[in-house]
Amino acid sequence: MATRDESPLKCETCTERDKEIRNCSNHRELTEAALAVTDYTEEINAELREKKADRVFSLGDIRLYECPLTYIEAETWEVIRLVYLIEDTKILLHGGGWGNQPAWLVEAYTVFKNESATELRKARDVHKC
Contact, 73 vs 30, CB < 8 A?
A: no
Bridge partners of 37, per DSSP, are 63
Q: Sketch the domain layout of the chain as residue ranges.
A: 11-71, 74-128
d(Cα 67, Cα 72) in Å, to the nearest integer? 9
Query: What are the pLDDT tens digits along the chain (129 aa)?
Result: 444 555 667 788 888 888 888 999 999 999 999 999 999 999 999 999 999 999 998 877 889 999 888 888 888 888 888 999 999 999 999 999 999 999 999 999 998 888 777 767 766 776 665
d(Cα 44, Cα 31) in Å, to the nearest integer? 9
pTM of the model: 0.63
